Amino acid sequence: MKSYVIGQASEIEEKRARVVRILDTEIAIFKLTGGELRAIENLCPHKNGKLSEGLVCDHHVYCPLHDWKINLNDGMVQAPDEGCVKSYHVEVEESTDNIILHVETMEPTRAS
């Protein structure tokens, strides 16, 4: 497990998301109302929709392609649809406003 500073929390607006790329994986960093952050893979299990572009309601995001609802706390797809998105641990360092993302070491999934 490694930790990375990926930017500052002020760079993300509430109920919006920004994307960070690690190799060929995209991770969406969401800011909930109140300022807490959540991080999940930017890929809806249904049709690979970019979840970073979805509507954020409380701690849920709705996929912009076909409206699947995903819990940002654990990545679980909400009924009646089923599935799960990989979620990551993310936090804000209060003194610096730095966003710290914790990820396992990744290998490229595609040959480059």
Helix (H) or strand (E) run with residue 5 in it: strand 2-8
Q: Give the separation between CA 19 and CA 22, rounded to whole angstroms.
A: 10
How many chain residues are in contact with other proteins, going by CB under 8 A?
Answer: 41
- State in angstroms the smallest separation of the CB of 91 from other proteins: 15
Helix (H) or strand (E) run with residue 103 in it: strand 98-103
The DSSP string of 35-57 is S-EEEEES--TTT---GGGSEEE
Position 6 contacts other proteins (CB under 8 A): yes
User: Which of 35, 55, 74, 97 forms a contact with other proteins (CB under 8 A)?
Assistant: 55
Binding characters for other proteins, 66-105, by CB under 8 A (x = yes):
-x-x---------xx------------------x-x-x-x
User: Which of 1, 36, 37, 47 forms a contact with other proteins (CB under 8 A)?
Assistant: 47
Structure tokens at 30: 């969401």
Neighbours of 22 (CB within 10 A): 15
Which residues of this protein are in contact with other proteins, per CB under 8 A? Answer: 2, 4, 6-7, 11, 13-16, 18-23, 26, 29, 33, 46-50, 53-58, 62, 64-65, 67, 69, 79-80, 99, 101, 103, 105-106
